[in-house]
Structures are given as C-alpha cells and as structure tokens.
Amino acid sequence: MHLKGALDALFTLKWELKQDGVEAALEQSRRGGHLWIFGASPLLASECRIYIYNLALKLGVPVLGGGLKEGIEVFPKQDKIKDGEYGNAIRAPMGVHRKTNQRYWFYDAALNPESQLAYLNGLKKLSEVELQTFIRGMSLPEAYKPPVSTPYIPKMGPFQREEFRILNYVRLNDRINDPRNWVAQCPSCAQAGHDRGCDNLKIKKSEPHKYRCWKGCTKEEIRAALGQPIRTKQTA
C-alpha cells in the first residue's frame, strides 16, 4: 500500500483481522507496507477479495479502484489465469527488493532471518472453511464489480469500411485488473520511448471503440503511431 497513512490503515486491518482469528503479518516495504495473510491451503482469489474488500469498506480503508486512485492494492488481482499466462509479479516474504537490493522485515519479530522465519512459521494459517464462514452472504462491493458486458457489434453500412478496432493492434496488460477497462501500452507513448509499464492506454470494456491515453496522447497520434491514420472527409 503506497499512500499517506498507509501503515495506519494496514495496522487497522491487521487488528480487525485478529478479531476474526486471522493472524496477518505486517511487513515493511520501500514506500509503505505489505499485509500478508497465509492460507492453510490454496484459496480462491475471488473469495479472498470478497472478504478483504468488505472488511476494508467496513473500516473505511480505501481500496484502489472503484473510482479511487489511491488505496490498498489486493493481490492476486486475477480470479484465474489462462494456460501460458502469469499472475502478478510480487516480492515474496523475506525476498530481496530488486531495485533497492534490500530485505524488508516483519514488524512482530526480531530483525534477523531466523527469528523472522520462526515468526512466519508460527502464524495460524487461514483455512478454506474459515474463509467460507467469513464471506457467507457477502459479495464484492458494487463499486468493484465488473460491468455486465454486452457484445459489441461494429457499425457497418453497405458502403462503409470496416470500423477501426484498437484491440486488433495492441497487446493487453494482464497484470492489471481493472473491472471497467482493458489496459495496454499507448502506441504513441511507446513511439516516443515512454510507457515502459504498458499501462497508459485504457480501453473501455463495454465499448471497446472508446480508448484514451492517460498521458494525453490524442487519438490522431495513437492512430498515426499504429500506421492507421484517421481519415478525414474530403470536401469539394
């Protein structure tokens, strides 16, 4: 979590989880903190998010998305991944950060590997039965539910060219889970040597002919970068 008051929010979540008997471990990070919940067995990401999103909403802890540009990020972000795809790339507990070359410690144990590992091994793990009990009767908060998608049918008249579809020209960023938009690298930004994170271009899922670069590139610039310039009507 990377925002002002991040640690206070995570400590609040940690305390509230403890009331449910869930022992979460708070880890330092480069720009905030990470709150880990360990499962006794693999748990469904969709069910874990229902639990955490509703708990955060109850406590007034902001969750990124749902109209908010700042808040905690809940991982994993995907409900499932297809064959040959990868989920979120995250630094595992006790891992060394590739940018800083530093190891970040958990708050509730002495700052040495032996004490840290003993602390993690001693934590009570969340079981599937417990998770099912916690989320009984719950669903994902409305603001975070993906929109109901309807098939998009390109407009075609008898004398019209096939409608341009941006999805035919960009590679989607599957690492980002946005319920309303697909995310991709902006072709215009990329042409200028920018957008290495491949997340400047947003494409509306319900209307994929609508897209926008959040760094300000125009549609004309995006289309030109793809070699598909927008045709202007010829006047007599």
In the chain, domain spans = 6-144, 149-236
Please return the burial class of 173, using the count of CB atoms within 10 Å of its CB with bins 0-12, 13-18 and 19+. Answer: middle
**3 CB neighbour count, 10 Å cutoff:** 15
Q: Would you state the pLDDT for residue 151?
A: 56
Nearest 5°: the CA angle 213, 217, 223 is 90
Residue carrying the six token digits 């507990």: 93
Q: Would you state the pLDDT for residue 2?
A: 46
What tokens appear for 87 in the block? 């989920």
Is residue 54 predicted with pLDDT exceeding 90?
yes
User: Which amino acid is present at 110?
Assistant: A
| CA pair distance 29, 10, nearest whole angstrom | 12
70: phi then psi, degrees, rounded to nearest 5: -135, 145
Residue carrying the six token digits 């990401």: 45
**102 CB neighbour count, 10 Å cutoff:** 10
20-29 pLDDT, tens digit each: 999 999 998 8
| CA pair distance 203, 183, nearest whole angstrom | 6
**What angle do the packed helices 45-59 and 6-19 form, to 10 degrees?**
110
Question: Rg for the chain (alpha carbons), in Å?
Answer: 22
| CA pair distance 43, 76, nearest whole angstrom | 11
| CA pair distance 146, 143, nearest whole angstrom | 8
User: Which amino acid is present at 215?
Assistant: K
For residues 74-96, average pLDDT = 80
**166 CB neighbour count, 10 Å cutoff:** 20
Q: Would you state the pLDDT for residue 142?
A: 85
For residues 164-181, average pLDDT = 86
140-170 pLDDT, tens digit each: 988 887 766 555 555 555 555 567 889 999 9
For residues 203-225, average pLDDT = 91
Q: Is the peptide bond before 76 cis (omega within 30 degrees of 0)?
A: yes
Q: What is the pTM of this model?
A: 0.63
106-120 pLDDT, tens digit each: 999 999 999 999 999
Q: Which residues of 25-59 are buried (b: 16+ CB within 10 A; e: fewer)?
A: bbbebeebbbbbbbeeeebebebbbbbbbbbbeee
The average confidence (pLDDT) of the chain is: 85
Q: Would you state the pLDDT for residue 94?
A: 86
Pick from 34-48, 79-93, 113-127, 206-220: least confident: 79-93
Q: Would you state the pLDDT for residue 152?
A: 54
Measuring CA to CA, which residue among 219, 222, 207 is closest to residue 170? 222
26: phi then psi, degrees, rounded to nearest 5: -95, 125
Q: Would you state the pLDDT for residue 24?
A: 96
Is residue 225 predicted with pLDDT exceeding 70?
yes
